[in-house]
């Protein structure tokens, strides 16, 4: 009995030590993901920040990103199941000998053409990074622009098309799964120097794809709805014809987006007040900011 109790105590101690390490690694990953998402979100808005290197908002933003990714993954799983259902019917109609040969063909080709398989994965990852995942970088400094840039992303943001954005992220995750599957298949394989170099290059591209996921999240998803406020300092009301939104609450200041009429023109500006001057924030409504700024005929807050 004493040996059993000691064994149980040792196991609990081992689990506790491992749990501490997992918690540290998980927190670091959340910080990195949150940092990327939040920094590029602020780049999209076009505002400067006073974020410190360590800020708890990185942790919460990283957690929000993972939750969103998990929710979007259901769309990717659904599409995958539908594809499997479509392919399964003709597969079952084949004779048993042909089905067996068909199942063995991919592993045979992979074993005999490792270099070409890796090269195909590299081409796929480069194409995804260059022509799909980097497109979000066009969405910078949006709040002060006269119009949104010509992009399908702009149309999604303008209409608040959350379903298309969710399917887009499902596609990005599926694209990340392609190099991940190749790297997993080749794990532990004895490779020549040239093939090993291709595998290392594919791994680097896979990491780049993973890092671009929170960046796309920051541009397309994070906080596209902003609170509309009654005043800037909480005391003096806004001038007639002006509208203001709370954009960012930093450590030292509070940033507002102000839209005002000057003659026949509509002027937008980003105003940062010291926290000591923004004593009270009165929120009147929450607006989809891109629709409010660039489609005033359908959503024009007063």
Mean pLDDT of the chain: 82
189, 194, 199, 202: CA torsion to nearest 10: -170
Query: Would you say residue 162 lies in a domain?
Result: yes
Q: Which domain holds residue 121?
A: 10-78+113-220
Query: Would you say residue 145 lies in a domain?
Result: yes
Query: Would you say residue 144 lies in a domain?
Result: yes
Residue 134 reports pLDDT greater than 60? yes
Lowest mean pLDDT among 92-96, 140-144, 148-152, 221-225: 92-96
Residue 50 reports pLDDT greater than 90? no
Q: What is the mean pLDDT of residues 143-172?
A: 89
Query: Would you say residue 288 lies in a domain?
Result: yes
Q: What pLDDT is stored for residue 297 in this prediction? A: 47
- Structural domains counted in the chain: 2
| 270 and 146 belong to one structural domain | no
Query: Would you say residue 202 lies in a domain?
Result: yes
Q: What pLDDT is stored for residue 37 in this prediction? A: 93
Query: Would you say residue 86 lies in a domain?
Result: no
Residue 5 reports pLDDT greater than 70? no
| 29 and 73 belong to one structural domain | yes
Question: 226, 247 in Cβ contact below 8 A?
Answer: yes
- Residue predicted with more confidence, 182 or 112: 182
| 128 and 250 belong to one structural domain | no
Q: What pLDDT is stored for residue 176 in this prediction? A: 93
| 290 and 149 belong to one structural domain | no
Q: What is the mean pLDDT of residues 269-280?
A: 86
């Amino acid at each position: 009995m004493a040996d059993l109790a000691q064994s149980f105590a040792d196991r609990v101690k081992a689990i506790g030590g491992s749990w501490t390490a997992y918690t540290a690694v998980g927190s670091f990953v959340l910080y990195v993901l949150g940092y990327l998402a939040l920094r590029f979100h602020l780049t999209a808005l076009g505002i400067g920040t006073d974020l410190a290197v360590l800020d708890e908002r990185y942790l919460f933003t990283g957690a929000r990103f993972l939750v969103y990714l998990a929710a979007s993954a259901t769309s990717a799983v659904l599409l995958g199941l539908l594809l499997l259902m479509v392919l399964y019917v003709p597969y079952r109609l084949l004779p048993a000998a042909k089905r067996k040969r068909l199942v063995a063909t991919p592993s045979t080709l992979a074993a005999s053409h490792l270099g070409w398989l890796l090269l195909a994965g590299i081409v796929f990852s480069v194409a995804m990074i260059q022509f799909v995942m980097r497109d979000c970088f066009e969405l910078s400094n949006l709040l002060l622009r006269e119009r949104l840039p010509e992009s399908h992303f702009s149309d999604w943001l303008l209409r608040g098309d959350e379903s298309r954005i969710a399917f887009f992220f499902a596609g990005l995750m599926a694209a990340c799964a392609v190099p991940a599957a190749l790297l997993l298949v080749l794990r532990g394989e004895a490779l020549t120097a040239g093939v090993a170099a291709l595998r290392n290059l594919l791994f680097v591209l896979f990491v780049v794809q993973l890092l671009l996921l929170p960046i796309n999240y920051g541009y397309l998803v994070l906080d596209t709805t902003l609170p509309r406020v009654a005043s800037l300092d909480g005391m003096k009301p806004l001038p007639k014809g002006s509208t203001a939104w709370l954009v960012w609450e930093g450590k030292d200041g509070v940033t507002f987006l102000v839209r005002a009429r000057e003659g026949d023109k509509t002027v937008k500006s980003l105003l940062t007040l010291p926290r000591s001057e923004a004593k009270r924030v009165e929120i009147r409504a929450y607006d989809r900011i891109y629709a409010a700024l660039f489609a005033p005929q359908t959503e024009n807050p007063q």
